[in-house]
Structure 1
Amino acid sequence: MTRRGPAPAKRRKLDMKRTPQMTTTRLAAPALAVMVALSTVHAQAQDDGTEALQLVAIEALMVAPSERALPVVQRLLAGDSSDELKSRALFVLGQIDLPEAEQTLLEYAQNSDGELQLEAIRSIGINGDPALTAQLADVYSAGDMAVREAVLEAYMIAGDKESVFAIATNAGSDEEFEAAVQQLGVMGATDMLQQLRDRPGAMESLIDAYAIAGDTETLLVMARDGSDPLRQKAALQGLGIAGGDNISEAFREIYLDTDDPGIREAVRNGILIADDEELALDLFRSAGNDQEKAELLRLLVIMDSDAAMEAIDAALGGGDNGVQP
C-alpha cells in the first residue's frame, strides 16, 4: 500500500450542490493523496477483471451522496472481500461526513490488525476531525511500532502538532522520542522543538528535526557555539541540510575562525551537503597551507565541481597559488 505524504491540516469539503436532504462525500484528502490512493486500482486487479471493476466502483463512491455511499461501504467491510478492497473502502469511509462513518473508522483503528488497521488510522488522519484524531492516543499507546508510526503519520496528515508534541514529551525511549520530533520537524513545529531542548540525550534528534524544519536560526546559534564540540559539529551538518541565504557566510566565518580540525571537517561536510561549490572554491584559494588546500581539493573533487580540474592543475604547478576565476 502506498503511503501518503503530508497534507494541509485544514479540512476541505467537496464543493458540490447540496439539498437539505442530501449531503455528499467530502474529499478531505489533498489531491496528491487521492491520486496515490487510486494509482494502483488497475495494477492489482484479478485476471477476470471482477476486482478491478469493484475497485473502480469504490472509487466512484467518493462522489456519491453520503447517505447512499455509507451502507455500501459498510456492507463491503462486513463481507468477505479482499483486504485490498476493504482498504479502499476504508479510504472512502474517511471522506464520508457522517458520524456513523467516523465511528466505523475508529472501530477498525482500535480493533482490527494488519493493513486494515493501518489504513483506518491513516484515513482518520485524512478525515481530520479533531474529535476523531484525539481517539488515536489510546490506539498509539496500545500499538506496536507499525501502529505507532501510522498514528504519527495520521497526526501529521491532520496537522495535529499538539498530539505529536505530547508523544515526544512523554516518550519512554530515545527511539520513540526521535520518531516524534522528526514528525514535528516535518510539520515545521519549531516552537515545540524548542521546548524539548532540555531532554537528556535529545540534542542529536532535535538537530535533525531543526534541519528538516529549516530552522536555520536555531542551528546557527548552535553552530557558532563552541562550548559543546559534538553539538556544534552536528549543527554545522544540519545547516547544510536546512540551507538558506546566510549559510555560506556562516560557514566561511566559522571555518576561518577556528583551528580545530574536527570543526573544519564538519564545516566541509556542511558545505558538501549544501553543494556550495563557490564557497569551497573560495576557501581553496585562500587556504594558508598545503594540508588545508588538499582537504579542500578533495572536497571539490567529491562535489564534482567544474573548478576541480583547475584546482588540480594549480596544485600540480600548472597555475598560480589558487584557481583563476
Structure 2
Amino acid sequence: MRATGGHEMCCYDSVENASSSVLSGCRIEQHGSFTMRGGEDRIATLDDEKLIALNALMTADPELAVPMLEKFLSSNASPRLRDRALFVLTQSGSARGRTIVADIARGKSHPEMQRTAVKYLGLFGGEESRQTLSEIYASTSDVDIKKAVLQAFMTSGDKARVLAAARGEKSPELRRAAIRQLGPMGAQSELWELYKSETTPEAKREIIQALFVGGGGDRIAELARTETDPDLRRNAVRTLGLLGSDRTGAMLVSLYQSDRDPQVRREALQGLFIQQNAHALVQLARAEKDPEMRRDIVNKLSIMGGNKEALEYLMEILNK
C-alpha cells in the first residue's frame, strides 16, 4: 500500500501516529501494492487502516473529517466501512454530520442505510435526535421504519414517546411493538395501567411478556390468580414458570392446588418442570388423587436429567 508524501507505506502503531500522519498529508489509496493471502483479506486490512485513519482524523479535526466520511457513504466502499462512517458521523458533534445522519434516517439519501441511521440516532442522540426520530415516526408510513424508531426510542430512554405509541397508536401491530419496548425500559406501573385499560387479548399477551422482560413477577402472579379470561390466565401461569423457582415456585404450587381449570394446573406443572423444581413436583405427586395428573407429574420427574430427589421418588414407585 502506498501513501503520498514519499513514504512507501503508512504504518500506524497508535491512533496518535495515525492522526499525525493523516494531518501531514498521508493519504491511503484505494488499491495497495502489497500482497496478502487473498483479495478479501487485503480489502479487510485496508478497511481496518482506513477506519484507524478516520477515527484519528475525527478526533483531531472533525470538520475536516466530515466531508471524508460523507464521501465514503456515497462511494463503493465496503458495507463495513460505510456503516462505520455513519457510526462516526452520529457521534461527531458536527452540525453537518448531524444533518447527514438525520437525512439518511429520514430516507432522503442512502435508503439502504435508513434503519441503521435510525438505530444510531437512538444510541447516541440527545433531545435533538429524539425529536428527529419523533418526526420520522409521524411522517413515515413504513411499518418497519416505525418499529425501528420505537426501538430507537427505547434505546435512548424516551419512555414518554414509547408510551404514547402504546396508548394511542391506531395500528394494532405498532401498538404491540411499542408495548414490547416498554418491558426493557422498566415501565412496570405504566404496563400495569395499560393492561387494565386494554381490550384486546393480543395486546394483553404482549403486556404480560413485557412485564416478564421487566421483572414484573408480582404483577404476573396477580394476573395468574385473578384474570378472568382463561387463556390469559394460563399465559400468566406459563410465564411465571420462566421467572425462577425462588421467586415463583411457591406460587405455582399454590395455583396447582387451588385452581379448578385442568389446563391452568398443567401450566403450573410445566412451570415447575421448567424451573427443575423436583421437590415441589414430588410433593404434588404424593398428594395427587387424580391418576392422570399424577402420571403427568411422574413423567416430568422421569426426564429431569438425573435429579437426585426425582430419582429417589421414581425408585420409591418401583419398590411399591
TM above 0.5: yes
| Gap change, CA 1:82 and 1:268, over 3 Å in 2 | same
Deviation for aligned residue 1:181: 0.9
Match of 1:186 among 184, 187, 208: 184
1:177-256 residue pairs with structure 2 within 5 A? 177-197=175-195, 198-201=197-200, 202-225=203-226, 227-243=228-244, 245-256=246-257
Contact 2:245 2:275 in 1 (8 A): no
Letter in 2 for 1:260: D
Shift of 1:115: 3.8
Kindly provide the CA deviation profile for residues 180-216 of structure 1, in whole angstroms up to 9, marking residues without a partner as x.
Answer: 1111112211122123222221211111111111111
Partner of 1:96: 92
Q: 1:167 to 1:305 in 2, by over 3 A?
A: farther
Counterparts of 1:275 and 1:102, CA distance in 2: 51
Amino acid at match of 2:177: A
Note if contact 2:143-2:174 (Cα within 8 Å) is conserved in structure 1: no
Q: Aligned in 2, Cα 1:182/1:74: closer, same or farther, shift over 3 Å? A: same
Could you tell me how far apart the structure 2 residues matched to 1:83 and 1:289 are? 62
Measured in 2, the distance between the counterparts of 1:274 and 1:48 equals 46
Alignment correspondent of 1:70? 66
- Say if 1:158 and 1:56 are closer, same or farther in 2 by CA, change over 3 A: same
Q: SS in structure 1 opposite 2:170? A: coil
Offset, 1:48? 7.8
Give distance in 1, aligned partners of 2:57 and 2:156: 22
**Residue 55 (structure 1) shift:** 3.4
Contact 1:44 1:52 in 2 (8 A): no
Once the two structures are overlaid, the 10-residue window that deviates more, 305-314 or 288-297, is 305-314
Residues 164-186 of structure 1, C-alpha deviations (whole Å, 9 max, x = no match): 11222222333222221111112
Residue of structure 2 in register with 1:30 after alignment: none
290, 310, 313: which one pairs with 2:312? 310
Q: 1:233 to 1:75 in 2, by over 3 A?
A: same
Measured after TM superposition, the shift of residue 234 of structure 1 is: 1.0
Which whole-Å CA distance do the structure 2 matches of 1:145 and 1:46 have between them?
A: 39
> If each structure's helix is expressed as a fraction of its own residues, which one has the higher value?
2
CA distance in 2, matches of 1:251, 1:277: 13
Corresponding position: 1:51 with 2:50: no
- Aligned residue for 2:183, secondary structure, equals helix
- AA paired with 1:86? R
Cα deviation code 1:145-179 (max 9, x no counterpart):
43233212211221111121122222233322222
Change (3 A) 1:172 1:282: same
Question: Closer, same or farther in 2 for the Cα pair 1:78/1:47, shift >3 Å?
Answer: closer
For 2:311, the aligned partner's letter is M
1:259 corresponding residue in structure 2: 260
Partner secondary structure for residue 135 of structure 1: helix
Within 2, Cα distance between the matches of 1:122 and 1:177?
A: 19
Q: Alpha-carbon deviation of 1:229? A: 2.0
For residue 115 of structure 2, the aligned residue among 113, 118, 131 is 118
- Aligned residue number for residue 282 of structure 2: 281
**Preserved contact between residue 215 and residue 242 of structure 1 (Cα < 8 Å):** no
Q: CA RMSD in A?
A: 2.7
Q: Secondary structure at the match of 1:281?
A: helix
Name the stretch that deviates more: 150-159 or 235-244. Answer: 235-244
TM-score, normalised on structure 2?
0.76
State the shift of 1:89 in Å. 0.6
For structure 1, which runs of at least 5 residues remain unmatched after alignment?
1-42, 320-325
Partner of 1:134, secondary structure, is helix
Instruction: For residue 75 of structure 1, give the secondary structure of its aligned residue in structure 2.
Output: helix
CA distance in 1, matches of 2:149, 2:230: 36
**Judging changes above 3 Å, is the alpha-carbon distance between structure 1 residues 157 and 235 closer, same or farther for their aligned structure 2 residues?**
same
**Closer, same or farther in 2 for the Cα pair 1:66/1:243, shift >3 Å?**
farther
Contact preservation (8 Å) 1:184, 1:209: yes
**SS of structure 1 residue aligned to 2:92:** coil
- Maintained 8 Å contact 2:180/2:210: yes
What percentage of aligned pairs have identical amino acids? Answer: 28
- Higher RCO (CA 8 Å, separation ≥ 6 residues): 1
Using the size of structure 1 for normalisation, the TM-score is 0.75
Judge which range, 279-288 or 55-64, deviates more: 55-64
Go from structure 1 to structure 2 and tell me whether the alpha carbon gap of 1:300 and 1:62 turns closer, same or farther (over 3 Å shift).
farther
Contact 1:210 1:238 in 2 (8 A): no
**Given that residues 87 and 115 in structure 1 are in contact (C-alpha distance below 8 angstroms), is that contact kept between their aligned partners in structure 2?**
no
Q: 1:233, CA displacement in angstroms?
A: 0.9
Question: Hey, what does 2:133 align to over in structure 1?
Answer: 136
- Residues 64 and 121 from structure 1, CA distance in 2 versus in 1: closer, same or farther, beyond 3 angstroms? farther
